[in-house]
Amino acid sequence: MSTMNIIQVTSEDQLGVEAADFFANFIRNFDGKPNVILPTGFTPLPFYKEIVKRYQNGETYLGNFRYLALDEYLDIPNGDHRSFAAWLGREILDPLNISVDERIVFNSACTNTDAECKRIAQAVKEAGGIDLAIVGIGGNGHIGFNEPGSSFDLEAQRIDLTKETRIANAEYWGCLDKVPRQAITLGIGTLKHANQTLMLATGARKAAALSKTLHGEVCVDVPSTYLQQQGNVTIIADHDALSVKA
């Protein structure tokens, strides 16, 4: 079992600073242009704010990476302002001037999802794999949109979102009825090959899942437990997220 490096923070602002320090250090020490996965969601917002601030203050090396998409809603037009691609564009990729050519993203309007899963898994391999995967965690232990029960071997998959996940995303969509029912995601079969993983977690809603991630049995019922089998994992979390002890 691998040990995970845990950095406990006391506020969302401190999470932003710690994550930005980690990211800056990673980019500075990387030989070349790394392939980086970035998550959407509320948790990484202070991190993105901090990175954009540093970039605008002259730390332009922070934009020296290729972006690999983690997940995306299905059945919405490409470019829809609610898509994860557009969301990440607004929050970090556009401010950091990551060109569209340097973004490997899903086709949210694809009709053949099996073909789209194969295409994206192949695109990640051809790009050279994942150098750094930055992920959040769902209250049910999902990583990306790998909901409980997801095989650890799938490279990418189409997924029916659980009600819990749809409720968690309802604020973003305005109301539950508008949240898409299906999504596409890089699978754990791809994510587990990341050279490094950084997970961000805040709030008591994540505490049970985070505790299982750290100390629970490795099983598909809690997808995030795959991290126990991986080296090079860092978790930045606040006190509430770390409040459930094993």
The contact set with ligand F6R (CB under 6 A) reads 39-43, 70-71, 84, 136-138, 142-145
Of 52 and 237, CB closest to ligand F6R: 237
Q: How far is the CB of 143 from ligand F6R (least distance, A)?
A: 6
Q: Which residue is nearest to ligand F6R (CB)?
A: 136
Q: Among this protein's residues, is 142 annotated catalytic?
A: yes
Catalytic residue among 78, 140, 195, 232: 140
Pick between residue 63 and residue 141 the one whose CB is nearest to ligand F6R. 141
> In terms of CB distance, is 34 or 39 closer to ligand F6R?
39
Choice among 12, 50, 71, 91 that is catalytic: 71
Cβ-contact 5, 233 below 8 angstroms: yes
Residues 6+ apart with CB under 8 A from 78: 85, 107, 108, 109
- Residue 31 beta carbon to ligand F6R: minimum distance, rounded to whole angstroms: 28
Query: Which CB atom, from 113 or from 165, has the smaller least distance to ligand F6R?
Result: 165
Shortest gap between Cβ of 240 and ligand F6R (angstroms)? 12
- We find the least distance from the C-beta atom of residue 58 to ligand F6R, in angstroms, to be 29
In what side-by-side order are the strands of the sheet with 156-160?
71-73, 182-186, 156-160
Between CA 95 and CA 48 the distance in angstroms is 10
Catalytic annotation on 71? yes
Instruction: State yes or no: is 18 an active-site residue.
Output: no
Catalytic residue among 18, 72, 147, 238: 147
Write b or e for each residue in 27-59: b if 16 or more Cβ atoms lie within 10 A of its Cβ, otherwise e.
beebeeebbbbbbbbebbbbbbbbbbebbeeee
The C-alpha atoms of residue 24 and residue 198 are separated, in whole angstroms, by 13
CB of residue 146 vs ligand F6R: minimum separation in angstroms?
8
Which CB atom, from 89 or from 144, has the smaller least distance to ligand F6R? 144
Catalytic residues: 71, 140, 142, 147
